[in-house]
Amino acid sequence: MGIKVLVIEPSQDYRTLLAHHLTTHWPDAQITEYDPEDFGRLQEGFSGAGNDLVILAHPLGEESGLDWLRQFVNGNGFPPVVVLGSSDERDIVAAIKGGAADYISRDKLSHSSLVAVIESVLQPPESGNDTSLTGASASAIDLVGLKGYEVEKRISGGEVASVYLTHETASDRDVVLKVLRQVPDSGGEVHFQRFLREFELIGKISHPNVVRIYDLGIADDHAYIAMEYCSRGSLKRRIKIGMYAERAEEIMRSIAEALGAIHDVGILHRDLKPTNVLFRDDESVALIDFGLAKQAHLKAELTGTGEIFGTPYYMSPEQGHGEPLDKRSDIYSLGVIFYEMLTGEKPYQGNTAMAVILKHARDPVPRLPEHLAQYQPAIDKMMAKRPGHRFQSVGELLEWRPAEV
């Protein structure tokens, strides 16, 4: 049986359009259309029962869709709500803070963007193997020695490390635990030392745009880092929604400030990408995941010589070819993210990782649309193919200002 979606939208044409997109991708989808102007406000006790998802327009004629949202999310067990509205940053922030699972700007709406948002809500890609871990099932994690933390769910997991959302009982706060299992027979000792080095490096940093680290714990067969939980999701989701150019520049500068802080203590991030940029309740930016970070002067045996780390879409040309890196490689990756925030598109795409890597090295620096031309000088200098042609430091980047238009 297909997904069940309730569409609350005053325009018949727009309801038809949404239903077309949904049934094209999910042929068995059951769509219920609701016209708030014809039928009025849903009763206070409406639970959304029987639906997997609600698409809620804002505004709803003369009414605010965000008022309806507040009514919905106050009900226990209400299905996730995706708000469909303008590109006004204030509405987007208000909707997310009000409990919306996601937000779609009408002027950014396309078949692919709608499908991507709904898939991320029903099966979040950043937690694809999330499992509820409360109650008896929590014992399956086998994290001996993790006292004082109530595990709520697994955010991600791999052969070496896993990440969990927990509640720290002593402080009564949500905490993210990154847990490394030491497996000596499979090279686990090296990973274990790398993991401890990660905490040592991040622990030196106190900056509002770098994730806060609370604690380090070590047990017989694992170590963990306890860090702050950023509840407003990642930059990847914001890019899907779309944003004003001014907001994109603001976020870019916040990330740059964080990079400046880690560069100052000799750390390269080396895996800068939208999913490693999170938002707190107050909408401030927190740079996370230094699993690939390393001190500039660390010996090669810690990471391997010529080893390629990171994500191809955001790699500098030198990183993609396994060459020595410095802070200018992170600046390149930030340029890729800035371009994606401004346009909603990655600058280079290909059918394979190597195809993307080659484009970073050989293709021209991407061009922005005419209405974003004031940001082209920054993109040109952040994404220059040769490190010597880029901004030479984050400080130099932060001095740049777009020309008046």
Catalogue all structural domains in the chain, each as residue range(s) with its CATH number: 4-123 (3.40.50.2300), 135-228 (3.30.200.20), 235-399 (1.10.510.10)
Q: What is the average pLDDT across 67-72?
A: 90
* Predicted local distance difference test score (pLDDT) of residue 55: 95
The residues carrying an active-site annotation are 271
pLDDT band at 110 (very low <50, low <70, confident <90, very high): confident
Angle 146-152-158 (CA atoms, 0-180°, nearest 5)?
75
174-202 per-position pLDDT tens digit: 998 888 765 444 455 665 666 666 667 77
Please indicate whether residue 214 or residue 6 has the higher confidence score (pLDDT). 6
pLDDT in tens, 39-51: 888 888 888 888 9
Question: How high is the pLDDT of residue 190?
Answer: 61
Closest CA relative to residue 235, chosen from 185, 275, 287: 275
The pair of structure tokens assigned to 172 is 């009564």
pLDDT of residue 142: 45
In this prediction, residue 304 has a pLDDT band, given cuts at 50, 70 and 90, of very low
Give the mean pLDDT of 376-391: 97
Greater model confidence, 183 or 400: 400
Instruction: Please write the tens of the pLDDT for every residue from 112-144.
Output: 888 878 887 876 444 333 333 333 333 334 454
More confident residue, 390 or 303: 390
DSSP structural state of residue 47: -
Q: What share of the chain is helix, strand, coil (3-state, %, to 5)?
A: 40, 20, 40
Contact call for residues 145 and 156 (beta carbons, < 8 A): no
The H-or-E segment that residue 318 falls in is helix 317-320
In whole angstroms, give the CA distance from residue 358 to residue 369.
24
* Euclidean distance between the first and the last CA atom of the chain, given in angstroms as a whole number: 53
* The two structure tokens encoding residue 342: 């401004």
pLDDT confidence bin for 294, thresholds 50/70/90: very low
Instruction: Dig out the tokens for 323 from the structure.
Output: 């060459």
Distance, in Å, from the CA atom of 190 to the CA atom of 193, rounded to the nearest integer, reads 5
Residue 158 pLDDT exceeds 80? no
Q: Kindly state the tokens that stand for 48.
A: 């959304």
Sheet holding 213-218, edge to edge: 149-157, 161-168, 173-181, 222-228, 213-218
pLDDT for the residue numbered 220: 61
Cβ atoms of 330 and 267 within 8 Å: the answer is no
Average pLDDT, integer, range 234-255: 91
